Amino acid sequence: MSSLLYIFLLLAVFISHRGVTTEAAVEPVKDINGKSLLTGVNYYILPVIRGRGGGLTMSNLKTETCPTSVIQDQFEVSQGLPVKFSPYDKSRTIPVSTDVNIKFSPTSIWELANFDETTKQWFISTCGVEGNPGQKTVDNWFKIDKFEKDYKIRFCPTVCNFCKVICRDVGVFVQDGKRRLALSDVPLKVMFKRAY
């Protein structure tokens, strides 16, 4: 009986140790060359599915209080504008499912804009603020999640423990010929290409 108990305890320790090791491992987001995305390095965000537009960029739309929206370029051959990622924890690599700021430039940080009553959409704009994780900046944090064999961008910030947030994927909403990024039930499947 004691040898059976010993085997059971050994098995329990092995399983619990294995679970801790798996949970502690952080998977980095990879670019199209299989290299980890790095903080502060320029990357193009490109669609995986071709034929519906190019990379991500900005556009001024007259109806907005914030001067620019994040859109998908209408031309498939366009790579769009490069972005940089800044994780909330200031790590060197960008881990999967970690809160990050996404920015086209130091003054063009992605943000979830106010709900648009006309279109009934939550659009992505570039009026955010970099850093300072918390209640005042909760709309400026996005995640890069695995999606099938590729990635998707998701709005589901965890930088504020007591804030109520919407958790949805970022997809495309076509408005007046512009492919605007907005919260969606259909995510835009993306890949990342380093800009040299």
- Tens digit of each residue's pLDDT (9 = 90 or more) over 27-47: 999 999 999 999 999 999 999
Q: Is the dihedral of CA 18, 152, 103, 156 positive or negative?
A: negative
pLDDT above 50 for 10: no
d(CA 152, CA 73): 17
d(CA 135, CA 3): 55
| Domains in the chain with CATH codes | 28-194 (2.80.10.50)
Q: 97-125 b/e with 16+ CB inside 10 Å = b?
A: ebbbbbbbeeebbbbbbeebeeeebbbbb
pLDDT at 157: 97
d(CA 90, CA 11): 38
Mean pLDDT of 106-127: 94
Predicted model pTM: 0.85
pLDDT above 60 for 50: yes
As a whole-number percent, the residues of the chain with pLDDT over 90 amount to 78
d(CA 42, CA 104): 9
For the chain, what percentages of helix, strand and coil (3-state, to nearest 5) are there? 15, 35, 50
d(CA 184, CA 57): 18
d(CA 164, CA 133): 15
Among 32-46, 61-75, 144-158, 173-187, where is mean pLDDT lowest? 61-75
Mean pLDDT of 90-100: 97
Helix (H) or strand (E) holding 103: strand 100-103
